[in-house]
Amino acid sequence: MTTAQLVSEIKRKQSFLCIGLDVDLNKIPEHLLKEEDPIFAFNKAIIDATHHLCVAYKPNTAFYEAYGIKGWQALEKTITYLNEKHPEIFTIADAKRGDIGNTSTMYAKAFFEDLAFDSVTVAPYMGKDSVEPFLAFENKHTIMLALTSNQGAFDFQTKTVNGKELYKQVLETSKTWNNSENLMYVVGATKAEYLADIRQIIPDSFLLVPGVGAQGGNLQDVCKYGMNGSVGLLINSSRGIIYASKDTDFAQAAAIKAEELQQQMKAELGRHS
Amino acid sequence: MTTAQLVSEIKRKQSFLCIGLDVDLNKIPEHLLKEEDPIFAFNKAIIDATHHLCVAYKPNTAFYEAYGIKGWQALEKTITYLNEKHPEIFTIADAKRGDIGNTSTMYAKAFFEDLAFDSVTVAPYMGKDSVEPFLAFENKHTIMLALTSNQGAFDFQTKTVNGKELYKQVLETSKTWNNSENLMYVVGATKAEYLADIRQIIPDSFLLVPGVGAQGGNLQDVCKYGMNGSVGLLINSSRGIIYASKDTDFAQAAAIKAEELQQQMKAELGRHS
Amino acid found at A170: V
Report which DSSP code applies to A28: S
Q: Which of A189-193, B36-40, B194-198 has the lowest mean pLDDT?
A: A189-193
**Is pLDDT at B107 greater than 90 in this prediction?**
yes
A261 contacts: CB under 8 Å, gap ≥ 6 = A15, A17, A53, A212, A213, A219, A235, A237, A241
Residue contact B107–A65, C-beta within 8 A: yes
Q: How far is B152 from chain A (nearest CA, A)?
A: 4
In the predicted model, what is the mean pLDDT of residues B12-35?
97
In the predicted model, what is the mean pLDDT of residues B19-33?
97
Residue contact A101–B125, C-beta within 8 A: no
pLDDT at residue number B163? 87
Decide which of B139 and B191 is more confident: B139
User: Which A residues 162-181 touch B at CB under 8 Å?
Assistant: 162, 166, 169-170, 173
pLDDT at residue number A191? 72
pLDDT at residue number B13? 98
pLDDT-derived band at B207, boundaries 50, 70, 90: very high
pLDDT at residue number B272? 87
pLDDT at residue number A161? 85
pLDDT at residue number B211? 72
Q: How far is B176 from chain A (nearest CA, A)?
A: 11
Per annotation, catalytic residue among B70, B77, B96, B224: B96
Q: Is position A224 annotated as part of the catalytic site?
A: no
In the predicted model, what is the mean pLDDT of residues B73-85?
98
Predicted ipTM of the assembly:
0.96
Residue A159 CA to chain centroid, in angstroms?
Answer: 25
Report which DSSP code applies to A110: I
Other C-beta atoms lying within 10 Å of the C-beta of residue B11: 15
**Is pLDDT at B56 greater than 70 in this prediction?**
yes
pLDDT at residue number B105? 97
Residue contact A156–B148, C-beta within 8 A: no
Which residue from A minimizes the CA distance to B144?
A125
Q: How far is A171 from chain B (nearest CA, A)?
A: 11
Q: What is the mean pLDDT of chain A?
A: 95
Q: How far is A98 from chain B (nearest CA, A)?
A: 7
pLDDT-derived band at A59, boundaries 50, 70, 90: very high
Which residue from B minimizes the CA distance to A25?
B106
Whether A208 and A221 have beta carbons less than 8 Å apart is answered as: no
**Is pLDDT at B214 greater than 70 in this prediction?**
no
pLDDT at residue number B96? 98
Kindly state whether B5 is in contact with chain A, defined as any CB-CB distance less than 8 angstroms: no
Per annotation, catalytic residue among A77, A96, A224, A266: A96
Instruction: List pLDDT tens digits, range A192-215.
Output: 779 999 999 999 999 999 977 655
Instruction: List pLDDT tens digits, range B142-179.
Output: 999 999 989 999 999 999 988 899 999 999 999 999 99
In the predicted model, what is the mean pLDDT of residues B43-65?
98
Other C-beta atoms lying within 10 Å of the C-beta of residue A145: 26
**Cα end-to-end distance, chain B, whole Å:** 24
Whether A64 and A39 have beta carbons less than 8 Å apart is answered as: yes
Instruction: List pLDDT tens digits, range A165-185.
Output: 999 999 999 999 999 999 999
**Is pLDDT at A257 greater than 70 in this prediction?**
yes
Residue contact A123–B96, C-beta within 8 A: yes
Integer angstrom CA distances of residue A68 from A77, B72, B179, B238: 14, 8, 26, 25
In the predicted model, what is the mean pLDDT of residues A45-49?
98
Integer angstrom CA distances of residue A66 from A70, A97, A150, A246, B115: 9, 16, 21, 21, 9
Whether A17 and A258 have beta carbons less than 8 Å apart is answered as: yes
Architecture of domain A3-272: Alpha-Beta Barrel (3.20)
Residue contact A152–B130, C-beta within 8 A: yes
DSSP H or E stretch at residue A19: strand A17-21
pLDDT at residue number B213? 62
**Is pLDDT at A236 greater than 80 in this prediction?**
yes
Q: Mutation test of the interface with chain B: which of A22, A99, A145, choosing the one with the most B Cβ atoms within 10 A?
A: A99
User: Which B residues 184-243 touch A at CB under 8 Å?
Assistant: none
Integer angstrom CA distances of residue B242 from A91, B22, B43, B51, B207: 36, 8, 9, 13, 22
**Is pLDDT at A190 greater than 80 in this prediction?**
no
Between 3.20.20.70, 3.50.50.60, 3.40.50.150, 2.10.60.10, what CATH number should domain B3-268 receive?
Answer: 3.20.20.70
Give the residue from B36, B170, B205 showing the smallest Cα distance to A126: B170
Kindly state whether B66 is in contact with chain A, defined as any CB-CB distance less than 8 angstroms: yes
Which residue from A minimizes the CA distance to B149?
A100
Torsion of CA B255, B259, B260, B264, to 10 degrees: 160
Q: Which of A231-240, B212-221, B246-255 has the lowest mean pLDDT?
A: B212-221
**Cα end-to-end distance, chain A, whole Å:** 24
Which residue from A minimizes the CA distance to B158?
A161
d(CA B244, CA B230): 31
What percent of chain B is modeled with pLDDT above 70? 98
pLDDT at residue number A216? 54
What are the DSSP calls for chain B, one per residue? --HHHHHHHHHHHT--EEEEE---TTTS-GGGGGSSSHHHHHHHHHHHHHTTT-SEEEEBTHHHHTTHHHHHHHHHHHHHHHHHH-TTSEEEEEEEE--SHHHHHHHHIIIIIIS--SEEEE--TT-HHHHHHHHTSTT-EEEEEEE-SSTTHHHHTTSEETTEEHHHHHHHHHTTSTTGGGEEEEE-GGGGGGHHHHHHH-SSS-EEE--BSTT-B-HHHHHHHH-BTTB-EEEEESHHHHTS-SSTTHHHHHHHHHHHHHHHHHHHHHHH-
Give the residue from B234, B251, B239 showing the smallest Cα distance to B118: B234
Q: How far is A8 from chain B (nearest CA, A)?
A: 31
pLDDT at residue number B176? 98
Which residue from A minimizes the CA distance to B65?
A110
Residues from chain B contacting residue A111 (CB–CB below 8 Å) = 65
A43 contacts: CB under 8 Å, gap ≥ 6 = A21, A23, A59, A74, A78, A81
pLDDT at residue number B133? 98
Q: What is the mean pLDDT of chain B?
A: 95
Q: Of how many residues is chain A composed?
A: 273
Instruction: List pLDDT tens digits, range A83-99.
Output: 999 999 999 999 999 99
Dihedral sign computed on CA atoms, order B25, B27, B29, B31: positive
pLDDT at residue number A214? 52
What percent of chain A is modeled with pLDDT above 90? 92
In the predicted model, what is the mean pLDDT of residues B97-109?
96
Q: Mutation test of the interface with chain B: which of A27, A126, A243, choosing the one with the most B Cβ atoms within 10 A?
A: A126
